[in-house]
């Protein structure tokens, strides 16, 4: 009888412990862990460093060049050269602030394959609806060809790109960034989550509970101050995207007040 009670208690613990860990807000390093020596936003080094500090995921931005090479970079222009209307060879000779070349998506994912952190893939908006869908096709194919479907979660401001990713990768986590759709509208469009600016969530406080009821994940960006990190975690954000991942991890791992 004692043995049976022991096993029931053990089983209960095994169920409860992962559930409580899962309920805690998780941290995503915005453009990798870049606010540290030798790193740079969206560099392969920043991805590697994000993995080293055991964050849930490392976010990065992807544009497609005119000759259809996906590259990892945030702004529309790299050192004044417009990425989406230039060929890859026009930008490859220049370096990021940490002396890395601008990473191709292929090189970035090759590094990601060796790591554990989730790859939070932001597909940037391109010039036309058709080009947005084409960008989605190029990117989803590369992720699938490299066997990274399970490790990759997509985010985008662009509805055409988002719905194309959902169509091509129906099992993927796909969240919408633009803040103009309600949780119900996102669910209807097939998204699995919202990934909104914290001000959008402050203006629409009901969206926390509405998203949860619909089974959508909640991610907020870019949450960089201790008070705001605490506020968003307390309101029930599943994920916080931040430029200060170490500090954010420390804050969300503290017990609630
Ligand atoms: Mg981004």
Give every CB contact of residue 190 below 8 A, 6+ residues apart in sequence: 163, 166, 170, 174
pLDDT higher than 60, residue 201: yes
List the beta strands (DSSP E) in the chain.
26-29, 57-64, 70-72, 77-78, 81-82, 118-123, 152-156, 173-176, 193-197, 217-221, 239-242
C-alpha 42 – ligand 1 centre gap (Å): 9
Q: How far is CA 56 from the centre of its chain?
A: 9
Q: pTM of whole model > 0.85?
A: yes
- For 14, the enclosing helix (H) or strand (E) is helix 2-23
Question: 73 alpha carbon to ligand 1 midpoint, in Å?
Answer: 9
Is the per-residue pLDDT at 11 higher than 80?
no
Confidence of residue 16 (pLDDT cuts 50, 70, 90): low
pLDDT per residue over 106-138, tens digit each? 999 999 999 999 999 999 999 999 999 999 999
Residue 7 C-alpha to ligand 1 middle, in angstroms? 46
- Ligand 1 centroid–CA 14 distance in Å is 36
CA of 86 to the centre of ligand 1 (A): 21
Q: What tokens does 211 get? A: 């998203």
Query: Does position 23 have pLDDT exceeding 80, yes or no?
Result: no
Mean of pLDDT values over 39-63:
98
Task: Please give the distance, rounded to the nearest whole angstrom, from the Cα atom of residue 44 to the centre of ligand 1.
Answer: 15
93-101 long-range Cβ contacts below 8 angstroms, 24+ apart: 96/40, 96/41, 96/42, 96/43, 97/40, 98/38, 98/39, 98/40, 98/43, 98/45, 100/40, 100/43, 100/44, 100/45
* pLDDT higher than threshold 70 for residue 166: yes
Residue 257's pLDDT is: 57
Residue 21, pLDDT above cutoff 60: no
Please check the confidence at residue 20 and state whether its pLDDT lies above 60: no
Going by pLDDT thresholds of 50, 70 and 90, the confidence category of residue 7 is: confident
Q: CA angle 86-90-94, nearest 5°? A: 125
Tell whether the model's pLDDT for residue 17 goes beyond 80: no
With beta carbons less than 8 A apart as the criterion, state whether 27 and 242 touch: yes
Distance from the CA of 40 to the center of ligand 1, in angstroms?
Answer: 14
pLDDT, tens only, 227-248: 999 999 999 999 999 999 999 9
Q: What is the pLDDT of residue 111?
A: 98
Give the model's pLDDT for residue 204. Answer: 98
Spacing, Cα 67 to ligand 1 middle (Å): 22
Q: How far is the CA of 241 from the centre of ligand 1 (A)?
A: 9
Above 80 in pLDDT, residue 256? no
The DSSP letter of residue 32 is S
Instruction: Report the chain's mean pLDDT, rounded to a whole number.
Output: 94
Q: Tell me how far the alpha carbon of residue 20 lies from the centroid of ligand 1, in angstroms.
A: 29
* CA pair distance 95, 92, nearest whole angstrom: 8
pLDDT of 27 higher than 70:
yes
Does pLDDT of 58 surpass 90?
A: yes
Distance from the alpha carbon of residue 61 to the mean position of ligand 1, in angstroms: 5
pLDDT at 12: 64
Is pLDDT at 150 greater than 60 in this prediction? Answer: yes
Give all domains of the chain, ordered by start, each with its CATH number.
25-252 (3.20.20.190)
CA of 19 from ligand 1 middle (Å) equals: 29
What pLDDT does 4 receive? 73
Q: Is the pLDDT of residue 5 over 80?
A: no
3-class SS of residue 19 = helix
Residues 6+ apart with CB under 8 A from 176: 155, 156, 157, 159, 162, 186, 189, 191, 193, 194, 195
């Amino acid at each position: 009888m004692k043995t049976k009670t022991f096993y029931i208690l053990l089983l209960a613990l095994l169920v409860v412990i992962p559930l409580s860990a899962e309920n805690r807000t998780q941290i995503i390093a915005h453009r990798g862990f870049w606010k540290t020596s030798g790193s740079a936003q969206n560099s392969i080094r920043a991805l590697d460093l994000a993995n080293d500090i055991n964050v849930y995921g490392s976010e990065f931005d992807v544009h497609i060049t005119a000759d259809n090479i996906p590259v990892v970079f945030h702004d529309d222009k790299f050192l004044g050269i417009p990425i989406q209307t230039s060929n890859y060879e026009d930008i490859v000779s220049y370096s990021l602030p940490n002396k890395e070349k601008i990473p191709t998506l292929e090189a970035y994912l090759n590094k990601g394959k060796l790591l554990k952190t989730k790859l939070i893939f932001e597909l940037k908006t391109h010039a036309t609806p058709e080009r947005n869908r084409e960008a989605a096709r190029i990117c989803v194919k590369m992720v699938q060809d490299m066997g990274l479907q399970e490790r990759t979660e997509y985010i985008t401001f662009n509805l055409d790109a988002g719905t194309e990713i959902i169509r091509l990768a129906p099992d993927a986590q796909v969240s919408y960034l633009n803040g103009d759709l309600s949780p119900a509208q996102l669910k209807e469009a097939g998204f699995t989550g919202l990934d909104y600016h914290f001000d959008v969530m402050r203006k629409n406080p009901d969206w926390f509970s509405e998203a949860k009821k619909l089974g959508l994940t909640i991610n907020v960006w870019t949450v960089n101050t201790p008070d705001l990190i605490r506020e968003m975690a307390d309101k029930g954000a599943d994920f916080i995207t931040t430029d200060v991942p170490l500090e954010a991890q420390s804050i969300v791992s503290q017990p609630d007040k």
